[in-house]
Structure 1
Amino acid sequence: MQTSDTSAAPSADTRFPLPHTDRVVFLKSVVSGPNISVGDYSYYDDPEHATEFQARNVLYHYEHVGDRLEIGRFCALATGTTFIMNGANHRMDGPSTFPFPIMGGAWGEHMDLLMGLPSRGDTIVGHDVWFGFRTLIMPGVRIGHGAIIASGSVVTEDVPPYAIVGGNPARVMKMRFDDVTITRLLDLAWWDWSLERITANIPALMAGKLDDLKP
């Protein structure tokens, strides 16, 4: 009986996991700062700007605002997946939404007018989430484990675990599994398993059933 060689499993600390190309990058190797974190093996695929993910795809994420972006393990982010953070907010209670103080000069004396802008809180992505091409995630959204975000979607509300969502604004199109199976998957939390156990179960994880998983 052939067994899996766990010593050949890829390292989560590798920057470019695919040979002969730098279009796919393990994200934790290219993000930094106290307000952003990415779990092991989550990757971004971009033929031109993979290593620039934080600068190009996490927008309006200013440290002084304090909101966090957290992406779990084993997530797949297609080209153009973009997160809008709370720093994008403008005042809306006056006649104008223009942010005069940030332009400097005498206008800079009124920075207090930009304090305390509304915030939807942290943006949290669970484990094993698949983002399609050019998906847009708005501030404060929480995306459950195992969800799929269809290409071109604009996600403005929380996404349940194992939901498939699409559209603008994104809505649940269907659930990947029935409620009982989803509960079992969440209880199994395979993304927390040891690397050896994951490696031994790859065929079952990708194309099998829950009962096929090995202890």
Structure 2
Amino acid sequence: MSTDTARLPAPDTAYPITLPDGSTYKSAAFLKAVIDHPRIEVGEYTYANAFDPPDDWAARLAPYLYDVSPEKLVIGKFCQIADGVRFVTASANHRYDGISSFPFMMFSLDDPTERPSMPGPGPDTIIGNDVWIGDGATILPGATLGDGVIVGANSTVGGTIPPYSIVAGSPARIIRRRFSDEVIAELLRIAWWDWPPEKIASAEAEICGGNVEALAALA
């Protein structure tokens, strides 16, 4: 049954959890509100957790993504990013197609972009909607995680992960799909993360439950 009285905080709230004593819980942040980085795009209600909250959430999560990097980190809506997760984006790469991988351009007195050791631009890293990334996981350059993916703790994930897959390990492998192909197609069609916030809040039971038909009826 839908909950008509449920509400969500505004998506531009930096720290959306209030503790019983009235103080703000700084260890969980809506990333869209706390990240201002030209190469990072984050959807509404995606949050990250850090037991030692950083001053710079972008640097904590994606330390190799620079303002001048050619690639982007794109994260969808309603993602859940646990403590210790790191996105190793393409600008962390060295050339490894030749004899040495040493990054001479980093220590050059000349224009580093003209140095032979400069690697070419790498791919964007794309995270879908409603993705849960477990504690200490590492997401490699150019990884694409589909909607509804769950990443096990301390996993190292690269490549393309299909929607609603559970992956774990280093390197990560698909443990199983969360639903059948037919159900996954229906969930992608429903795309509850694109509903208005008040509708999402009132449909919490259906979104978190296992009755896809009930969720489809609300859609």
Using the size of structure 1 for normalisation, the TM-score is 0.90
Shift, 1:11, TM fit: 1.0
Structure-2 residue corresponding to 1:15: 14
CA contact (8 A) 2:2 2:205 kept: no
Within the candidate set 178, 181, 199, 2:180 is matched to 178
**Aligned equivalents of 1:26 and 1:114: distance in 2?**
40
Shift, 1:45, TM fit: 0.8
Q: Could you list the runs of 4 or more consecutive aligned residues of structure 1 that deviate by over 3 angstroms after TM superposition?
A: none
The alpha-carbon distance between structure 1 residues 110 and 50, as it changes in their structure 2 partners (threshold 3 A), is closer
Structure-2 residue corresponding to 1:212: 214
Indicate whether 1:70 and 2:74 are aligned: yes
Shift, 1:3, TM fit: 5.1
The one-letter code matched in structure 1 to 2:183 is T
Shift, 1:100, TM fit: 2.5
The alpha-carbon distance between structure 1 residues 211 and 59, as it changes in their structure 2 partners (threshold 3 A), is same
**Aligned equivalents of 1:22 and 1:61: distance in 2?**
24
CA contact (8 A) 1:41 1:75 kept: yes
**Aligned equivalents of 2:167 and 2:159: distance in 1?**
11
CA contact (8 A) 1:130 1:148 kept: yes
Within the candidate set 36, 40, 45, 2:44 is matched to 40
**Aligned equivalents of 2:204 and 2:111: distance in 1?**
57
Structure-1 residue corresponding to 2:85: 81
The alpha-carbon distance between structure 1 residues 119 and 110, as it changes in their structure 2 partners (threshold 3 A), is closer
Residue by residue over 1:63-96, the C-alpha shift from the partner in whole angstroms, topping out at 9 and shown as x without a partner, is: 3331000000000000011001111111234443
Shift, 1:55, TM fit: 0.9
**Aligned equivalents of 1:200 and 1:124: distance in 2?**
29
CA contact (8 A) 1:91 1:114 kept: no
**Aligned equivalents of 1:205 and 1:178: distance in 2?**
17
**Aligned equivalents of 1:45 and 1:83: distance in 2?**
14
The one-letter code matched in structure 1 to 2:110 is E
Q: What SS does the corresponding residue of 2:41 show, helix, strand or coil?
A: strand
CA contact (8 A) 1:100 1:108 kept: no
Name the one with the larger helix percent.
1
Q: Give me the identity figure in percent.
A: 37
Gaps of 5+ in 2: 20-24
Within the candidate set 64, 67, 81, 1:60 is matched to 64
Residue by residue over 1:137-175, the C-alpha shift from the partner in whole angstroms, topping out at 9 and shown as x without a partner, is: 011111000000000100111110000001111110000
The one-letter code matched in structure 2 to 1:12 is P
Structure-1 residue corresponding to 2:96: 92
Higher relative contact order (CA 8 A, sep 6+): 2
CA contact (8 A) 1:35 1:68 kept: yes
Indicate whether 1:5 and 2:9 are aligned: no
Structure-2 residue corresponding to 1:124: 126
Using the size of structure 2 for normalisation, the TM-score is 0.89
CA contact (8 A) 2:2 2:202 kept: no
The alpha-carbon distance between structure 1 residues 63 and 176, as it changes in their structure 2 partners (threshold 3 A), is same
**Aligned equivalents of 2:47 and 2:55: distance in 1?**
10
1:190-209 to structure 2, matched below 5 A, reads 190-209=192-211
